[in-house]
Amino acid sequence: MPFSDYRTALVTGASGGIGAAVVERFAREGLTVHAIARSAEPLKALAEKTGCVPHVVDVTDRAALARLTSEVAFDVLVNNAGVDRPKKFLEADEGDIDLLVDVNLRAVLHLCRMVVPGMAARDRGHVINISSIAGNYNFGGNSTYHATKAGVAMLSNQLRIDTFGRRVRVTEVCPGRVATDIFAHVHGDSPEIRERFIDGFELPTASDIADAIAFAVAAPVSMNVGHIEITPTLQVMGGLQTAKPASPGGGEAR
């Protein structure tokens, strides 16, 4: 369905990174784009640049989401807002678990609940869920994040089943590392963090991800791009570790 068949889009997590790039791209394609985030200033700047409609809203504010989605019939929904609090699960923090579930998964479920039935009734719509390679592969230190993103991945599959027979398309976008400020937001902004995650690596940019999303949206109506995994060429997932049991004295044998 070309962009011209859609009129409105809702993008969460739009104050920077992938969300802001998607807003810019969709606005260029002629959609009226509603942009949600908590940070007022970057949203205002994005609105001045792109003409998007800014909403300073926390995605956990269900009443605000319900108001907005009852006022506008959205053709495209991009569930992009996301947070991480990396930690080994053995040291998991109660508040971190709630935050990640609330932002990464609960808000996505509720927005789909609010928006997708209208899409099905109008026989027109596209849901883009930004998950992560963390939803499909294991690597250390982010277990709650993995769990929430796996939930988003499975929800994306289920939405296809539940809207069967309607022209509601669902695309799960699974990024690996992308050059955004997410690492500064998660670990704090410092030269060490930029060195660890960004500097010197060849990484996709937020606008590269937005271009891939635009490809899925611009595809013919007869075509659903269900899953897009995008990693740096120089990033691979997987690995195998085997440990010997801890020694009787309590020390770790490896």
Catalytic residues, by residue number, are 145
Centre a 10 Å sphere on the Cβ of residue 38 and count the other Cβ atoms it contains.
15
Quick one: residue 172, left, alpha or beta (phi over 0 = left, psi -120 to 50 = alpha)?
beta
Q: Which stretch of DSSP H or E encloses residue 26?
A: helix 17-28
- Is 23 in contact with 33 (CB distance < 8 Å)? yes
Within 8 A by CB and 6+ apart from 26, the residues are: 3, 9, 11, 33, 76, 214, 217
| Interface mask toward ligand NAP for 122-161; x: CB under 6 A | --------x-x-----------------------------
Residue 50 is a binding residue for ligand NAP (CB under 6 A)? no
Site string for ligand NAP, 175-214 (x = CB under 6 A): x-xx-xxx--x--------------------x--------
Whole-number minimum distance, CB 218 to ligand NAP, in Å?
21
List the x/- string, 58-97, binding to ligand NAP by CB under 6 A: xxx-------------------xxxx--------------
Cα distances from 21 to residues 16, 28, 103, 169, in angstroms, run 7, 11, 20, 21
Nearer to ligand NAP, 28 or 187 (CB): 187
Between 83 and 97, whose beta carbon lies closer to ligand NAP? 83
Kindly identify the residues of this chain, within the stretch 215-234, that bind ligand NAP according to CB under 6 A: none
CB of 237 to ligand NAP, least distance (A): 12
Complex with ligand NAP: residue 124 or 149, whichever CB lies closer: 149
- Tell me whether strands 168-175 and 125-130 are parallel, antiparallel or unpaired: parallel
Among 1, 19, 75, 116, binds ligand NAP (CB under 6 A): 19
